[in-house]
Amino acid sequence: MPVARTHSIALVGVEGYPVEIESDIANGLPCLLLVGLPDTALREARDRIRAAIINSHEQWPQRRITVGLSPASLPKRGSGFDLGIALSILAAAGVVPPAAIDGVVFFGELGLDGRVHPVRGVLPAMAAAGCAGFAKAVVARSNAEEAALVPGLRVAGAPTLAGLLAWLRGEPGAGDADVVCVPDGNQPLARPAMPGGAPAHAGREGRGSPPDASKPDLSEVLGQPTARRAAEICAAGGHHLSLLGPPGAGKTMLAERLPTVMPALDQVAALEVTSIHSVAGTLPAGSPLMTEPPFCAPHHTATKAAIVGGGTGVLHPGAASLAHRGCLFLDEAPEFARDALDALRQPLESGEVVVARCGLTARFPARFTLVLAANPCPCAKGSAVRAACTCSPTARRRYLARLSGPLLDRVDVKVELLPVSRAELLSDRRFAEPSPVVAARVAAARERTAARLRDTPWRLNAEIPGSELRQAFRPPASALAPVERAMDSGQISARGVDRVIRVAWTLADIAGIGGPTANETSYALGLWLGVGL
């Protein structure tokens, strides 16, 4: 056979593009040429593929082999093309019947001994294959569960190249025990069981299940009822939160418990989140589908690329995308680099990160709830114990000024946490509600929001554009009076007005009323103005 064809997927960010792999075997000096804009990792595939084929007890064609990757203008990076290239070479040599590889997508890395190693980004790659009309795919056996999440896609998981070849040839009794077949994406492989018999992907226990004592709970944040209320509002509407307070006041505790009151991800959101973590290589072991809102807390020394994504070679998602549909927590926010913080302004508005490189543009979803935590001053003693604070007013202003005004203008809720006394800790135990109770109210509020936004592309109040907010979802004039007075006095910007109205709608959804009144708008305005920032 002069030319054989297989197919694979090239990933650009979290988007996949079908690639046709053509192999031609001709007379000439023995060599393997790769054309079609491959990167360094892909050029190294020549030696890996040759060793894998020989160690799988197959004959390597001692002729001139040319492998073309089409479209040639599309950059191709990574080792996921190994399996497709090897099968196209063997098909061109007549080892594999062409009908066996027709219309099949191959995605996997080959080891020198012929084993098929897992690769990153299997879920978005298989989703792209399904959208392109492919019905069958072959991946590494450990990636089969992840690939099977794509509906309507028949997946085969191969542990070795030798077992895959025997299976493709239809040799009786050979390879059947090695290659795992999944009928279609609606019937994925059985998930590995966790201790106690629960499936590994079950995620957070149901609302009626007894709470797990080892998991964080919102009721542990004692003495801060206003902050707990703010967390509930942000979880219900997808609003961003700023916490100001001295060490030990509960800022980190509150941020870590915010995901516990967020509803579990629906099917579409779960696939989005899983695709991002698949590309980043951060999927939890034994669970191919992420059903819980992610929580990402980068260190304050993280670079701009680590926060928003990028890189010099392969473009990787950053912390903002890893927190998609979840929570991005920046502890000690003033200590982060100024350019890293300001780079968040785009995803806070658009819900995605656009990374542009020479000849390449990648888009990463990044619709998250931002939580900023800061001390009131460099010495962290706080304004509540001003006598012990050694910072001058200028030093305090300079410290908090590291959080730029345009960034804080995009934060909907600002709360100051004060030191808690022993009496407050003891008395607040009776009023602090556990996470399942708060989560039930959050879920009910989101259902009301979803019913109101049923015929729109938005899911949460925080996602409604300002133009639509002022037209289709404009509160009555009496409810806008507090905001108008604040705008006349210069306390709030036009963008701030939109954010106050969004929070007011969330307060109305939590209260179960038809729309915001002056009470909800006044409360939302107080949350936006905050204290100390």
The domain spans of the chain are 3-182, 240-411, 431-533
For residue 285, pLDDT over 80 is answered with: no
Confidence of residue 170 (pLDDT cuts 50, 70, 90): confident
Q: Which CATH class is domain 3-182?
A: alpha beta
Per CATH, the architecture of 240-411 is what? 3-Layer(aba) Sandwich (3.40)
Write down the H helix ranges in 25-65: 40-43, 45-55
77: confidence class by pLDDT, cuts 50, 70, 90: confident
Q: Identify the pLDDT of residue 44.
A: 83
What pLDDT shows up at residue 213? Answer: 55
What's the confidence (pLDDT) of residue 193?
32
What is the per-residue pLDDT for 127? Answer: 96
Burial degree of 235 (CB within 10 A; 0-12, 13-18, 19+): buried
Helix (H) or strand (E) holding 330: strand 327-330
Mean pLDDT (the chain, rounded): 88
Average pLDDT on 81-85 reads 96
pLDDT tens for each residue of 376-404: 888 877 655 555 788 888 888 889 899 99
Burial (CB count <10 Å: 0-12, 13-18, 19+), residue 53: buried
Lowest-confidence segment of 50-59, 88-97, 108-117, 169-178 by average pLDDT: 169-178
Is pLDDT at 217 greater than 90 in this prediction?
A: yes
Give the pLDDT mean for 219-229: 94
> Would the pLDDT of 312 be above 80?
no
Least confident of 197-201, 293-297, 298-302: 197-201
Category of 78 on φ-ψ map: left (φ > 0), alpha (ψ -120 to 50) or beta: left
Contact 420, 381 (CB under 8 A): no
Q: In the structure, what pLDDT confidence band is assigned to residue 337 with cuts at 50, 70 and 90?
A: very high
For 6, the 3-state DSSP assignment is strand
Question: 95 or 214: which carries more pLDDT confidence?
Answer: 95
Residue 195, pLDDT score: 30
DSSP labels, 412-479: -EEEEPPP--HHHHHHHTTTPPPHHHHHHHHHHHHHHHHHHTTTSS--SGGGS-HHHHHHTTPPPHHH
Question: Quick check: 256 and 216 in contact, CB under 8 A?
Answer: yes
Is residue 358 very low, low, confident or very high in pLDDT (cuts 50, 70, 90)?
A: confident
Residue 185 reports pLDDT greater than 50 = no
Neighbours of 473 (CB within 10 A): 17
CB atoms within 10 A of CB 119: 22
Most confident by average pLDDT, 209-218, 379-388, 456-465? 456-465
pTM of the model: 0.88
Tens of pLDDT, residue by residue over 476-514, are: 999 999 999 999 998 898 889 999 999 999 999 999 999
